[in-house]
Amino acid sequence: MRRAGAVVADVLSQLQKIAAPGMTTAYLDGIAAKMTAAAGAEALFKGVRSPQARMPFPGAICASVNEQVVHGIPSERVVLQEGDILSIDFGVRLNGYCGDAAVTVPIGQVSPENRRLMDTTREVLDIAMQKSRPGVRWSEVAGFMQRHAESAGFSVVRDFVGHGIGTKMHEDPKVPNFVSEELLADDIWLAEGMVLAVEPMINAGTYAVRTLGNGWTVVTRDGKCSAHFEHTIALVKGGCEVLTKKQ
């Protein structure tokens, strides 16, 4: 899983460097696909099916712009503009094991509010990594994450949560980025050896979202921007190891 995570980190690092105004999200998807193939890996999202969508997911990356929260489809028709924020979600399978991570990048100069949204979301993920260690209940970690986002005036998406990951992209347990009665009733004790994909999605306005007619792309209901950061982490003695961090 470290090797899979290293491929994910390399691809996301490269896409962050090159994403710029005038570039299409399809171009970024092509770069990700080429790097994945060169690493001997398989793009984790490409070909995934959803009951809500008529077609399998067509891209190596999810490319979600501005009010798009997650599962944005890369396209030649989506040209990045100065001031956009772009969330790139990417995963691979390598030698049977998965890695998954996401980052939100500014396209050129972005507004102070969007910069604050990105910074806060990154901080929420950092908090999760700092607080995650064997013997801790996930509700404690989620509480710290939620409080940080909401104290900044933002909201935590409820419809999508983090997850276990291993030989499959989505494995138990589900790890929400907020505290709910459901989580408190059936809390998760973190244990050494668990591997989790932790992925806060934070909205500038309401946490309510909806899915577009393509069956994939999720957007904020109020049209305000959203940011998304994710790492695959392994619980180890005394803390966690980030498997998708650029070395």
Q: What is the DSSP string of 93-138?
A: EETTEEEEEEEEEE-SS--HHHHHHHHHHHHHHHHHHHH--TT-BH
Kindly report the CATH class assigned to 2-242. Answer: alpha beta
Strands 239-242 and 42-43: unpaired
pLDDT at 246: 87
The predicted model scores a pTM of 0.97
Distance CA 133, CA 130 (A): 8
Nearest to 28 by CA among 4, 3, 64, 82: 64
What is the chain's pLDDT, residue by residue, as a tens digit (247 residues)?
999 999 999 999 999 999 999 999 999 999 999 999 999 999 999 999 999 899 999 999 999 999 999 999 999 999 999 999 999 999 999 999 999 999 999 999 999 999 999 999 999 999 999 999 999 999 999 999 999 999 999 999 999 999 999 999 999 999 999 999 999 999 999 999 999 999 999 999 999 999 999 999 999 999 999 999 999 999 999 999 999 998 7
Q: At what angle do helices 138-151 and 112-131 cross, to 10 degrees?
A: 160
**Residue-level pLDDT at 202:** 98
Q: Are strands 162-164 and 195-198 parallel, antiparallel or unpaired?
A: antiparallel
In the DSSP assignment, the letter for residue 79 is B
